[in-house]
Amino acid sequence: MKKYTRIGIILFICMIFLFPPGGTVLKAAFFSYQPGQPNKTVEKVCNKDSVAENQEKNSQTEQKGTENSQSQVAEAAQQNPESAQIKNQKSYMVEDKILYSGNTQKNRVALTFDDGPSDYMDKVLDILKENDVKATFFLIGSHVEKYPETIKRITEEGHEIGNHSWSHRNFSKLTADEIKQELDKTAEIIVSAGGEVSNLFRPPYGSSSEESEAVIYAHGYNIVNWSVDSKDWSGISVNRILSNVQSRLAPGSIILMHSSGRKKAMTNMLSALPKVIALVREQGYEFATVSETLELQNAEDLENRMAQQ
């Protein structure tokens, strides 16, 4: 008799364990596991521009805290004619192909900085000013709100601003509507902060699909990647940054650097920057903005293209 009671109790405990009243956690743990399923966080793209992985996390956190002010900015953009201003600034002809470097017949190269603004931007701008270099900054919309003064300074000091998305997501995985929103929100906030934004776009991670590219072009943007990767985001030494630039430098080069990232990477980037500038000049090149290097033409048909969407 005792034996059956014990078996009964054990069975009862097992039932409670497997099917707790109202509990789904254990059931989920036991029955939902499917071996071989990829983990979505591992699936995340991690390539050339991977400094942005940190940025992505940062911007996601930042975004939560700034939703109110974002919608205020969006409202403000609707109320005043800033949207029209943005449209006017999308003035380069869309090339319908990914642009990696400019005119190879001219000894001009473009220095580009991704992922700003950040706390390091003023130092970058100081170095550029001291060396009389005009650069192109591909800015992340969700970072712009925190640094309105920097945006004004970039514009006042004659640099070019490109769009690097709102939240630094992988564009090859976004819907057409999400892509347009990422582009528009970023352009609007740059203009709201007193900046001038061009219709140059660099996709986060340099990643895009044929479908996303078609949406980006139809929305009035050129896609600008790079031909020289300094790999400064990775925290490599100043000498490695310099040799990465030197080994690929050619007429029309578009050089990729970063103005936001981990502290070690940014410290090395700031030490390397004056040396990169000196190296480029020693090799007989002049600096120009991306649109100058690419010799992008102002577009008369851009308005029509935008209207057709």
Residue 291's identity, in one-letter code, is S
Q: How far is the CB of 205 from Zn ion (least distance, A)?
A: 7
Query: How many residues belong to the site for Zn ion (CB under 5 A)?
Result: 5
Q: How far is the CB of 114 from Zn ion (least distance, A)?
A: 4
Q: How far is the CB of 164 from Zn ion (least distance, A)?
A: 6
Q: Which stretch binds Zn ion (CB under 5 A): 110-118, 150-158, 220-228, 244-252?
A: 110-118
Q: 284, exposed or middle or buried, with CB in 10 Å at 0-12, 13-18, 19+?
A: exposed
Q: Which of 142, 138, 201, 204 is nearest to 173 (CA)?
A: 204
Pick 137 or 285: Cβ nearer Zn ion: 137
Question: Does the annotation count 258 as an active-site position?
Answer: yes
- Taking CB under 5 A as the criterion, the residue among 114, 160, 182, 188 binding Zn ion is 114
Catalytic residue among 114, 115, 229, 232: 114
Pick 147 or 285: Cβ nearer Zn ion: 147
53 touches Zn ion (CB under 5 A): no
Pick 56 or 77: Cβ nearer Zn ion: 56
Q: How far is the CB of 225 from Zn ion (least distance, A)?
A: 11
223 touches Zn ion (CB under 5 A): no
Tokens, residue 166: 């709102």
Pick 230 or 285: Cβ nearer Zn ion: 230
**Footprint of Zn ion on 161-220 (CB under 5 A):** 204
49 touches Zn ion (CB under 5 A): yes
Query: Using CB atoms, what's the residue nearest to Zn ion?
Result: 52
Q: CA torsion angle for 267, 269, 272, 278 (degrees, to 10)? A: -140
115 touches Zn ion (CB under 5 A): yes
Catalytic residue among 143, 159, 164, 258: 258
124 touches Zn ion (CB under 5 A): no
Distance CA 112, CA 94 (A): 19
Pick 77 or 189: Cβ nearer Zn ion: 189
Q: Which of 243, 233, 216, 225 is nearest to 290 (CA)?
A: 225
Q: How far is the CB of 291 from Zn ion (least distance, A)?
A: 19
56 touches Zn ion (CB under 5 A): no
- Would you name the residues annotated as active-site residues? 114, 258
Residue numbers at the binding site for Zn ion (CB under 5 A): 49, 52, 114-115, 204
